[in-house]
Amino acid sequence: MFNYKMKIKYDGTNYSGWQIQENAQTIQQVLKDSIEQITRREINLIGSGRTDAGVHALGQVANFKFEKKLNLFKFKNSVNSILPTDISVSEISEVNEDFHSRFNAKTRSYLYLISKEKSPFYHRYSYFYKKEVDFEKLKYLTKLFTGKKDFTSFCKVNTKVESKICNVLEANWRKSKIFFLFYIESNRFLYGMVRAIIGTLLRTLEIEDSENYIKEIFESKNRESAADAAPAEGLFLFKVKY
């Protein structure tokens, strides 16, 4: 069997997330159907991780196994010709048969884009935030989310995993005249974690004793103690490292 690794980009606006679901259009299902149309065989498409409804990707990774050796240049062009305009395969390569896009991932990183200006060209890919932002305070508070911590308070209640401890290697912000850009990299992410962090940071900017407030949220291990999740449209799966 040959094992093929793909890098995928998508606009998640019109999809119910990455993972295949009944009675819903998902990225994984559309991509799987497109590949099977070319190979004429059923394949098992494995993603590096799932993204929520409306979330985008610049560097999602997936792999599948196939009994025949593919012409990668021809296959990439063929699958892209079938895929809708909001999904594309940007890279494809042959990898070792034991490669697993999810279990072999060492870190994942996300970007979150906040717009300070209302624009018809930004609304699908950023969160329009009307309030003033104390950028230095925002950067300082963000450091409280780095390191090895229990992120129970920042994941959806129905998240079924044995451990909710994540090691956040980096979390920082950049800004331009119009945008604030958040970057976060971790060994793993919980369901809804990044958007919960963003929502909490923005709410915490309005609180006087903000540092202790964040520490209390972590200690509570209660999702209700943190703020509502930031909107999905600003979030991008950026890169998966192996």
Q: Could you tell me if 213 and 147 are in contact, meaning their C-beta atoms sit under 8 angstroms apart? A: no
Tokens standing for 69?
């050796």
Q: Could you tell me if 190 and 151 are in contact, meaning their C-beta atoms sit under 8 angstroms apart? A: yes
- Residue among 11, 52, 134, 228 flagged as catalytic: 52
52 given a catalytic annotation: yes
3-state secondary structure of 161: coil
- DSSP secondary structure code for residue 111 in this structure: E
Q: Which of 201, 192, 193 is nearest to 227 (CA)?
A: 201
In this structure, the chain runs to a length of: 242
Beta-carbon neighbour count of residue 63 at 10 Å?
22
Beta-carbon neighbour count of residue 141 at 10 Å?
19
% helix, strand, coil for the chain, step of 5:
30, 30, 40
Active site (catalytic) residues: 52
